[in-house]
Chain A
Amino acid sequence: MGDEYPTLFRSDQMSLVQLIVPTEVAHDTIAELGELGNVQFKDLNPDVNPFQRSFVGEIRRIDEMARRVRFFASQIEKEKDAIPIRPLYDSAPIITVGPRAAQTIDELDVKLAEHESRLTQMNESYQLLSERMKELVEARHVLRETAVFFDKAAGHQSDIRASLDDSSAPLLQHDDRENQFGSGQVEFDLEFVAGTIERSRLETFERVLWRVLRGNLYMNHTDIQEPFVDPVTGAETRKNVFIIFAHGETLLAKIRKVAESMGATLYPIDSNADKRSDALREVTGRLEDLQVVLYNTGNNRRMELVTIGESLASWLDVVQKEKVIYETLNLLNYDVRRKTLIAEGWCPTRDIPMIQVALRHATEESGTNVPPILHELRTNKTPPTFQRTNKFTEGFQTIMDSYGIASYQEVNPGLFAVITFPFLFAVMFGDIGHGFIIFTAALFMIMRERQWAKQDLGEIFGMFFYGRYIILLMGAFSMYTGLIYNDIFSKSLHLFHSGWEWPEARANETIVAQANGHTYAFGLDPAWHGADNSLLFTNSYKMKMSIVLGVIHMTFALCLQIPNHLRFKRVSDIYTNFIPQMLFLQSIFGYLVLCILYKWSVDWEKSPTGPPSLLNMLIQMFLSPGNVDPDTQLYRGQPTIQVILLLIAFICVPWLLITKPYLQYKEMKKIQGQGYIGLGGDESVHPNGDEVLEGEEEGNGRAIAEAMDEEHEHHDFGEVVIHQVIHTIEFCLGCISHTASYLRLWALSLAHAQLSEVLWSMTLEPVIGMPGIIGIVALAVVGVLWFTLTVFILCVMEGLSAFLHALRLHWVEANSKHYEAGGYQFTPLSFAKLNEKE
């Protein structure tokens, strides 16, 4: 069966395989299988702590390498001028398999360590130099600013003296000025402290100083315009130059202490102007020297980063792969005696030959002659579900997977969703114009898919891109249903000869169209457009159509039970579950659908009886069975048929409720009658007892993980009864509510049509007939407005809402009829997936 052509109808046949891998090829084998990407390894030592496993040492080493790579990446990122990182497909691959693998990794490790130490060294010296440079720059600022201040003070001496006489001057200010004045007189003999401090701390600094010195100080400060950039973190700090005058050694010492503890840097400044300018010259000179050195260091560092950037991508790739390989190796069971690793895992049965080839390849690559041995194990565990998708079906499958992963080998609704999903969407979204817009958008995304698949498109757009094929089909189907509804941007097309003719209209008179014997070939006759009763007609038409579609969809979903029952050998389920359910559904709603179709086919103008209201008919069928008003009778013998149908439906309920539990009960009695007693979980071991022996002979317990996580479902009779009761109630009530639920097709399609009509009449319609240049301008402006609103409200918003409703119809209305969704996803070890996550 493994040779079956893979379809989406059922998930792939899976096999539990055991790999016996000699230790020397273990790494290469896993690497090869990772490239292949279709084996899901099982954890064979779940009760071993993560740090007690066999390959923790290697993982740690890889972690350390990964840390270094991350360090490089962050360094490169921080660099202001972007440093090119050569993309992976451009770089020479680092081969980590084969006989030289260990050596390559060692070399890489050494190389990374070297680069790291070189880079840290460079960073350090760069930082040191920048630090020194910063100090010099600060010193220069301090010198300059204080010079300005001193000069100003010298120039203002006379003013200060004059202000002494000003008795209204505040006391403190007075003090300050006195200080200044005194200092002016003795050629700035007054002691002072100068330095720089972070701007954010300046205020606190001032406050503390004020309190410490009780106001006995004169402080002046100015901003330094350009920010200082920390070479390591790249953070900007802004600083201020301050100069504080105070009197006395103690006070100065206090100022210095406070300043230092607040993180300020102090610079020795001489009060003598000549000495100051000397110092300034010297600082500037040293600054220039330092700048050259710094530039060179920076250049060297950049060169180093460029070298690193060239191979960073491949290093990252190698490190990631190695980590995954060793993590997988940790899942394997290590047989110390025989120096082999035993792996167990799931793989698709039809891929086993490919895996065999990969194993052989790995052996050849590594240059040993001991090949890994693969053999299939028989198991009674449920394998994972693996649906082979391609880029077209992937989106549809994801929609179904997000409801639940199909049980193993169950009929997969994802296959049918490829058509039913866009179709139900289109029933709600039917409009040729809007359909065309989203169709072209999807087509554009598909044309661009090669480029865009590689880029990160952002969350929202990425989602649209992921569903591009769904959108494509949705657009195509919308155009089709739009053609049936004869709707293009709320206008109608006149493709064929209309079946109705309007007589000459006179003012203020309702006119009635005359049938002319033609029949409009496809879709809705455009004559309905603009007719007074058009809404009445389309409502009735769409409502009935949604019921018809809904019942067909549910019937189809119900039929999907059959392949499941056949595949899982539950033939009895066909007549205990499927047949009564089908009869129940068809005798009520199938009958309704037939009535709808029949009613459409009758020409009520010529009929002797009036047209019946089908809704009332259905209600009357339940409330007063056997009575039908002869005036609105649909066909002869209607009461009898309805009574029979009703009886069938009523019989189905106990049938559904009782037969299955009864059969199970009989089965149980039979087994007990033969003298068997259930052994619970133990019986699962027996069928493959000989393999156990075989395995033991070989010296390794087979299927190591077997006993641990097998959930043996013990079917309790009570459970079956309860389950069946719930199932019956759910189905019978569900039939009614689900049929009603399909009316959303009508509601949304109506809402969509009305909304697009309103948009048309509110924007374009008044403008379209306007004469002259104003008309053209208005048409252009309003046209753009109309188009934008069409795209955003009608296509995107309405589209999303229709999408959600189509989703619900599939998840709730259809899936509840057959889908068990009790499986778990197949998650193979795959390097390709690793890169996707990036």
Chain B
Amino acid sequence: MEALLYNVDAGFLEGILRGYKAGLLTQGQYANLTQCETIEDFRTQLSATDYGNFLANETLPISTSTIADKATQILVDQFNYIRNNAVEPLAKFLDYITYGYMIDNVILLVTGTVHERNTQELLERCHPLGVFDTLPALCVASNVEELYHTVLVETPIAPYFRDCLSASDLDDLNIEIIRNTLYKAYLEDFTAFCQKIGGPTAEIMTRILAFEADRRSINITINSFGTELSKEQRAKLFPTIGRLFPDGNNSLARADDIEQVKLACDYIPEYRAFFDSSNNATSGRGANTGGGNSSTAHLLGDLDDDSGSAAELEDRFFLYEVHLNKQAFLQQFHYAIFYSYLKLKEQEIRSLTWIAECIAQDARDRIQDFIPTF
């Protein structure tokens, strides 16, 4: 059925998107990029790709954050073009994608406000896809209820907030709880929405979102070791979707150390691989957890305990995510490619930033540690 009617509304946008996807950097281009000696080489090399002259009008020297910003801007422009041309239900689907960024922005702003950072500075760091009108007003709120009633009540993520209203004070732990509760609600809602669309969209998105949910569950568990978060609270934060639900989640809720996490995930072959060698590599990688890893962890937006194994795990998660997203392109007549493209492009920007960072800091030995997309 979707093959019959899909192209009526989304055919054009799918064409555009597949065109965008063809512009993702290839292995060869990554190989060329990693050979660059300086950021200027990097720029020359990028100008031969689909990025074109996006850095041509920047004054030297170019900072890595400029590169990341400009690349993100390209992504945002592409997304907005598609969003503006979309009709229901694709428009709603695309909106759902932005909710995740809204949650990140809300949390970023609230955390910043709690730590008394400059609001303007925080606003600049917000992801442009998740910006909404009333976002700046968040800094007024001093407790959860105020947060909800003053600002969030009119945003699309308001319904996700219902479960958080019990928490009263805004401290770091609570903010993390809020974030994870929001995400849990968001993922569940998004999955439900995709199921409603049905067809291959539901199939693929469920697969991707299930992994996303499981990843969050595992991360929450690992990160909660040694914190004041009780096991009951922890269990409440796990999304009720995903392949670990419910058995795996139950064992995760009871887990006390990484070994038990590993056991909990053992019955899913793909997940088992994540832990296979991560413990062996812990000693080797733990030593060089530099700025790069924390920045990756930061990008993920998770409360990372900065240990080597977690960083290693994070990379494996990303690899698997890229794999899932690449699979989305193998099918036609579904919306999941829009989500996948966004995620792949984000990964590409992360990789670019990583390479640029390595070049700038002259850390050649680690330059290969990026995650290629296509």
Contact = CB atoms under 8 A, between A and B. Distances in A.
A258 B137 contact: yes
Contact of B151 (A60, A71, A201, A208): A208
Nearest to A214: B149
Nearest to B60: A64
A375 interface: no
A50 B32 CA distance: 10
Nearest to A56: B44
B173 interface: no
Contacts of B4: none
* Number of chain B interface residues as a range: 20 to 34
B32 to A, nearest CB: 6
Contact of B56 (A67, A208, A254): A67
Contacts of B140: 212, 254, 257-258, 261
Contacts of A204: 133-134
Contacts of B361: none
A616 interface: no
B119 interface: yes
8 contacts: A49-B45, A67-B57, A70-B57, A201-B133, A208-B137, A211-B153, A257-B140, A261-B136
Nearest to A59: B44
A207 interface: yes
Interface stretch (B33-41, B70-78, B86-94, B200-208): B33-41
A341 B56 CA distance: 30
B150 A211 contact: yes
Contacts of B133: 201, 204
A228 to B, nearest CB: 19
Interface string A562-597: 000000000000000000000000000000000000
B149 A211 contact: yes
B139 interface: yes
A261 B44 contact: no
A260 B41 contact: no
A208 B134 contact: yes
B154 interface: yes
Q: Helix, strand, loop or mixed for chain A's interface?
A: helix
A608 B37 CA distance: 96
B287 interface: no
Contacts of B48: 50
Interface string B117-159: 0010001000000000110111110000010011101100000
Interface centre among A60, A70, A211, A263 (most CB of B within 10 A): A211
Contacts of B60: 64
A261 B45 contact: no
Contact of A50 (B44, B146, B150, B151): B44
By Cβ-Cβ distance, the 8 closest A-B pairs, closest first, are A261-B136, A51-B41, A208-B137, A204-B133, A211-B150, A212-B150, A261-B119, A51-B44
A50 B154 CA distance: 52
Given A212-B140, A254-B140, A261-B140, A207 B154 contact: yes
A258 B35 CA distance: 49
B45 A51 contact: yes
Interface centre among B119, B137, B149, B151 (most CB of A within 10 A): B137
Interface string A193-219: 000000001001001100110000000
A63 B62 CA distance: 14
A169 B343 CA distance: 55
A776 interface: no
Given A60-B40, A64-B60, A212 B45 contact: no
Given A211-B149, A261-B137, A261-B139, 15 more contacts: A50-B45, A51-B37, A51-B40, A60-B40, A60-B44, A67-B59, A70-B57, A204-B134, A208-B134, A211-B151, A212-B137, A212-B140, A261-B136, A261-B140, A262-B136
A70 B134 CA distance: 38
A260 B119 contact: yes
B134 A207 contact: yes
